[in-house]
Amino acid sequence: MSGVNEASVLEALKTVNDPELHKDLVSLGMVEKVTVEGEKVGVKINLTTPACPLKGQIEADVRAALARIGVKELEVHFGATVRAPQNLPLPGIKHVVAVASGKGGVGKSTVAANLAVALAQEGASVGLLDADIYGPSQAQMFGTQAEKLRADEQKRIVPLERYGIKLVTIANIVPAGQAMVWRGPILHGTLKQFLHEVAWGDLDYLIVDMPPGTGDVQLSLAQLTKVSGGVIVTTPQDVARIDAERAVDMFKRVQVPLLGIVENMSYFEQGGQRVHIFGQGGGRRMAEAYKTAFLGEIPIAVAVREAGDAGVPVVLSAPNSPEAQALRQTARALAAQLSVQSYMLLPMA
């Protein structure tokens, strides 16, 4: 292995591009450490998110590049630091992500809950804010109905901790039904409190489960904080898509970048076959039309509904099921999209 040293390893790594950012790992500052000890070379790559979907490809490309300069014994280690905009949206919080839908019942809350838990499973610090103040579902999804949120000495709300994420929902503050009478200004005030007066701590991602439709809360969120991006959950039916298009328009009007589309209840698996009950490809076509990413398609499955009812999201209750895998893949695609969006649009810290 004559001639291999730290400098030549770095030179070789300059030929490896991040597949999404289309720039080499060295210029992107992703090579954290290179060690050469005799025949042994060690490389530590710092990914832009622990939920990186292309880790395998990056490792293969690094191995190929170093094999070309004669490295035979190579250890590749990965770390991850989620990149943040220079001005954080909220103290300690790197990204606020709004999960929205044009109409109710498309599975927005289910998708938001599973995305949050899947990102945490990958090693990210995640919070979930249930901003669906009229019809909160996250206490049900996480089995926290009997709990009450408390305040710390500074009178900030302390989030509940479940399955590795921090959770705040109105359902853990007021008795069920009481929130229904609230009006616009109170909604705004409540959302403000949920964003600014919660001891969220340091978070890579704060996922916000938005109310269905396009209304006051959407506007308030955009006014109260810098939202990194919005995700739209839709189902393949035409009606849901027309509503989803309204949600796309709403994000545009409040200048929240669109991160992508998730199609829920896309198909049903029967004897190894995918049955597309409501037609095929609607979400993907919509993503193409809006020049945004298609983040994933989630099958309709009994396990998803049962998991929601039991208070344990399906990525935890049945982690190897096709539906959990689809949700995890969607979470990775979302994280990757945020890395790309942050890299392209925002000056990095």
Ligand X SMILES: Nc1ncnc2c1ncn2[C@@H]1O[C@H](COP(=O)(O)OP(=O)(O)OP(=O)(O)O)[C@@H](O)[C@H]1O
55: annotated binding-site residue? no
Closest to ligand X by CB, 104 vs 215, is 104
Q: Which of 62, 106, 160, 324 binds ligand X (CB under 6 A)?
A: 106
**Whole-Å CA distances, 9 to 6, 24, 36, 81, 115:** 5, 13, 9, 22, 37
108: annotated binding-site residue? yes
103: annotated binding-site residue? yes
Stretch binding ligand X (CB under 6 A), from 20-28, 44-52, 70-78, 299-307? 299-307
Nearest-10 crossing angle of helices 238-253, 282-289: 30
107: annotated binding-site residue? yes
Stretch binding ligand X (CB under 6 A), from 2-10, 63-71, 293-301, 334-342? 293-301
Smallest gap, in angstroms, from Cβ of residue 104 to ligand X? 3
| Residue pair 270/249 in contact by the 8 Å Cβ criterion | no
- Phi and psi dihedrals of 103, rounded to 5? -135, 165
Q: Which of 301, 318, 333, 335 binds ligand X (CB under 6 A)?
A: 301
Stretch binding ligand X (CB under 6 A), from 16-24, 42-50, 222-230, 295-303? 295-303
Q: Which of 48, 137, 138, 172 binds ligand X (CB under 6 A)?
A: 137
Smallest gap, in angstroms, from Cβ of residue 135 to ligand X? 5
Report d(CA 64, CA 71) in Å as an integer.
9
Residue positions forming the annotated binding site for ATP = 102-109
Q: Kindly list the residues in this chain that would bind ligand X in the complex (CB under 6 A).
A: 101, 104-110, 132, 135, 137, 212, 264-265, 298, 300-301, 304-305, 308
